[in-house]
Amino acid sequence: MKQIAFISGIGTDVGKTVVSAIVTQALAANYWKPVQAGDLDNTDSIKVARLCDETVHVLPEKYRLKTPMSPHCAAEMDKVEIRSSDFEVPDFDAKLIIEGAGGLMVPLHNDGLLLIDILADKKWPVILVSRHYLGSINHTLLSVDVLNKRSIPILGIIYVGEKHESTEKIISTVSKIPVLGRIPIVDEVNKEFVQTEAIKMIDANTVTTKLNQFYGK
């Protein structure tokens, strides 16, 4: 059975792309980022391809928007309309990791279409990436709450950075969401780092177990 997981962050610049690369590598999966806004010479798809080995297949983006802005603005500037019907997944083998653009409430169209509307329709199970900073408890719990209210399944949380026990304890107590792993912050993210962290994730077996449970395998 084919398996899909959607990776979203509690906000921008929390380490979502690095986590996506590590999870994709650990699962020897396909990677897809449907919407890329800006930085077209060094897209997240290019970064993931550079960080992973040949077992990973990177699928082309659906939208390559020129301006590094919220997708609804970038699309308008490019005279492009992002529609929910455009999020049919491309062909893939076995497993697919989909990386979102920014957080869950990112607008995709001026008519009010949000990223979470796509998730509510597709019911792709979500891996939420969180990073500790002042306000991150609120951002993490709000993300979990809006996913729950839209009946979107959550596989778990992956933290980026050092453990903060009191923060993670209250998030777990309130959200009841399992922790799938932790990715350290390093000065340089390279292929060796991704391979090392992927091996740790394989050994922990948390992501694979949750995916198999979700898909009834």
Dmax (CA) for the chain in angstroms is 47
Burial zone of 118 (CB within 10 Å; 0-12 exposed, 13-18 middle, 19+ buried): buried
CB 93 within 8 A of CB 57: yes
Catalytic residues: 33
Burial zone of 52 (CB within 10 Å; 0-12 exposed, 13-18 middle, 19+ buried): buried
Instruction: Concatenate the DSSP letters of all residues of 107-161 into one string.
Output: B-STT--BHHHHHHHH---EEEEEE-STTHHHHHHHHHHHHHHTT--EEEEEEES
